[in-house]
């Protein structure tokens, strides 16, 4: 994750591009350039060896015009405030793109979770919630999982918040384990949402899935599920990678066995091992940079931000980039991809399936009525397909790129909310 540019400043630049296509006044735009609340906390954690370690964490509520803040909590050693602000901003736009009644928020703790024991991780998770408890709540700001946080961590966090609130409060957090009020379908919702976008594109481009080569950077929660669903439909997943490196097979991988291997061994084994244990997977070894530059049809960055930059954008050979990760493409790289006529399905649309099913989870928690998996997936598909097509049509009608169209679509919705309380023209009768 290169931090050469301030990622928040880079992120909000996209607003200016979209402004002229959006139905929004300039003062509403100005509000969106400034996060509403920024909290920085210190989290003291007693480590297993008896020492006390202090971790630093953040929670940013970017905007809550359309509803309570919504956004994940990331545990990563490279977390920084600018990144959390950018992620919160993207959440505001993302919730509006898919029309769900939430604003945007995000949290992060600077930690390498792989270095913590399970008990240390639990203490850190509960400690973070104690520090931010006054700033979150079912009607205020609702966290969720993000990079290196998972359902169990959400369960600990919900449990800790419930103790503080002295009442069981499942709607304070989403992405929980199912027995604690999680929604069916939340685990694969992000990958599934991206998959539904691609299914719409498949129709528009008249694709035969068997001829479409796909590479997935980042084989975690989001990356695995989109790869699995595409593979089930016959797409050829020819390359995948994780933080340690990537693997390539021109005939396409059997994704279920790759998922099994990765989840059992915590790595894409073929990257490292030689000989017997890896015989099940035939693959060439790839560096992460090489995966991005492969001669394929669809590139799916599903790891971290700032992966496609001005340094490598010119080398991207895919026709379509599906941004399952948040912010994988810098604004400079965006311009290069646009010149190369590569269609980028932007993050705020492509990975919005996760927050959409988080919204379903929150609705179920608040009503106490839980849905079957078919109901979740059908509702998700309806939202993703409708909003994908709305953004796609806006793009073609205005002859702009899909990111600008997605931002304009979301800005119009947020703008309507902000402007409903009055604007300069209303108060001055101009």
- What residues make contact with ligand NAD under the rule CB under 6 A? 145-148, 190, 217-223, 241-243, 288, 302-304, 324-326, 351, 354
Position of minimal CB gap to ligand NAD: 220
Tokens representing residue 351 in the block: 């990975």
CB of 51 to ligand NAD, least distance (A): 27
3-state secondary structure string across 72-141: EEEEECCCCHHHHHHHHHHHHHHHHHCCCCCCEEEEEEECCHHHCCHHHHHHHHHHHHHHHHHHCECCCE
**Cα atoms in the Cβ-side hemisphere of radius 13 Å centred on 352:** 32
- Contact assessment for residue 379 and residue 196, using Cβ atoms and an 8 Å cutoff: no
Task: Find the shortest distance in angstroms from Cβ 218 to ligand NAD.
Answer: 3
- Say if residues 136 and 91 touch (Cβ distance below 8 Å): no
Nearer to ligand NAD, 129 or 300 (CB): 300
Q: Which is nearer to ligand NAD, 11 or 303 (CB)?
A: 303
Matching residue, tokens 């492509």: 350
Choice between 261 and 326, CB closer to ligand NAD: 326
Nearest to 344 by CA among 376, 381, 391, 310: 391
How far apart (Å, rounded) are the C-alpha atoms in residues 430 and 425?
A: 5
Distance CA 317, CA 76 (A): 30
**Minimal distance, residue 42 CB to ligand NAD, in Å:** 24
Beta pairing partners, 54: 44
Q: Indicate the SS3 state at residue 371.
A: coil
Minimal distance in Å, beta carbon 272 to ligand NAD?
A: 13
Which residue among 70, 106, 176, 236 is the active-site one?
106
- Nearest CA-CA partner of 55 in 107, 1, 20, 133: 107
Q: Of the two residues 67 and 327, which places its CB atom closer to ligand NAD in the complex?
A: 327
Which of 28/347 has CB closer to ligand NAD? 347
Nearest by Cα to 90 from 10, 4, 175: 10
Nearer to ligand NAD, 383 or 418 (CB): 383
| Minimum CB–partner distance for residue 146 and ligand NAD (Å) | 5
Three-state DSSP at 172 gives: helix
Per-residue DSSP letters for 295-362? Answer: S-SEEEE-S-SS-B-TTTGGG---SEEE--SSS-B-HHHHHHHHHTT-EEE-HHHHTTHHHHHHHHHH
CB of 324 to ligand NAD, least distance (A): 5
Structure tokens at 142: 């609702």
Helix or strand (DSSP H, E) at 430: none
Nearer to ligand NAD, 2 or 420 (CB): 2
For residue 224, give both structure tokens: 């695995």
Residues 6+ apart with CB under 8 A from 301: 217, 218, 292, 307, 308, 321, 323, 324, 325, 328, 329
Contacts of 309 (CB under 8 A, 6+ apart): 2, 330, 332, 333
Q: Judged by CB, which is closer to ligand NAD: 309, or 416?
A: 309
DSSP symbols for 391-419: HHHHHHHHT--HHHHHHHHHHHHHHHHHH
The question of whether 106 is a catalytic residue gets the answer yes
Least distance from C-beta 173 to ligand NAD, angstroms? 13
CB of residue 226 vs ligand NAD: minimum separation in angstroms?
Answer: 10
Task: Write out the catalytic residue numbers.
Answer: 106
């Amino acid at each position: 994750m290169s931090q050469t540019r301030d990622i928040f400043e880079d992120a909000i630049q996209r607003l200016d591009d979209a402004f002229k296509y959006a139905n929004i006044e300039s003062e509403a735009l100005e509000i969106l350039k400034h996060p509403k609340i920024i909290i920085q906390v210190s989290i003291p954690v007693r480590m297993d060896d008896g020492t006390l370690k202090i971790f630093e964490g953040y929670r940013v509520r970017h905007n809550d015009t359309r509803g309570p803040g919504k956004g994940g909590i990331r545990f990563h050693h490279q977390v920084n405030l600018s990144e959390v602000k950018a992620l919160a901003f993207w959440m505001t736009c993302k919730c509006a793109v898919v029309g769900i009644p939430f604003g945007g928020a995000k949290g992060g703790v600077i930690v390498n979770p792989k270095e913590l024991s399970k008990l240390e991780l639990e203490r850190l998770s509960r400690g973070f919630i104690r520090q931010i408890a006054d700033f979150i709540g079912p009607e205020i700001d609702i966290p969720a999982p993000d990079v290196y946080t998972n359902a169990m961590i959400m369960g600990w966090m919900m449990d800790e918040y419930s103790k503080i609130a002295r009442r069981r409060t499942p709607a304070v957090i989403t992405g929980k384990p199912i027995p604690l009020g999680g929604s069916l379908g939340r685990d694969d919702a992000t990958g599934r949402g991206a998959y539904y976008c691609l299914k719409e594109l498949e129709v528009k481009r008249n694709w035969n899935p068997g001829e479409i080569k796909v590479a997935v950077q980042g084989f975690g929660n989001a990356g695995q599920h989109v790869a699995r669903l595409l593979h089930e439909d016959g797409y050829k997943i020819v390359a995948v990678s994780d933080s340690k490196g990537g693997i390539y097979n021109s005939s396409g991988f059997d994704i279920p066995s790759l998922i099994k291997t990765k989840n059992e061994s915590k790595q894409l084994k073929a990257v490292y091992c030689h000989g017997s244990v890896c015989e099940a997977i035939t693959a060439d070894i790839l560096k992460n940079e090489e995966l991005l530059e492969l001669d394929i049809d669809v590139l799916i960055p599903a790891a971290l931000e700032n992966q496609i930059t001005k340094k490598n954008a010119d080398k991207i050979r895919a026709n379509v980039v599906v941004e399952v990760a948040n912010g994988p493409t810098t604004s400079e790289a965006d311009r290069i991809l646009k010149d190369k006529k590569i269609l980028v399905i932007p993050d705020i649309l492509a990975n919005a399936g996760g927050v959409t099913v988080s919204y379903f989870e929150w609705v179920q928690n608040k009503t106490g009525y839980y849905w079957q998996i078919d109901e979740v997936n059908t509702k998700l598909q309806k939202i993703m397909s409708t909003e994908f097509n709305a953004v796609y049509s806006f793009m073609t009608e205005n002859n702009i790129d899909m990111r600008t169209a997605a931002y304009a679509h979301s800005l119009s919705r947020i703008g309507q909310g902000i402007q409903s309380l009055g604007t300069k023209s209303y108060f001055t009768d101009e």
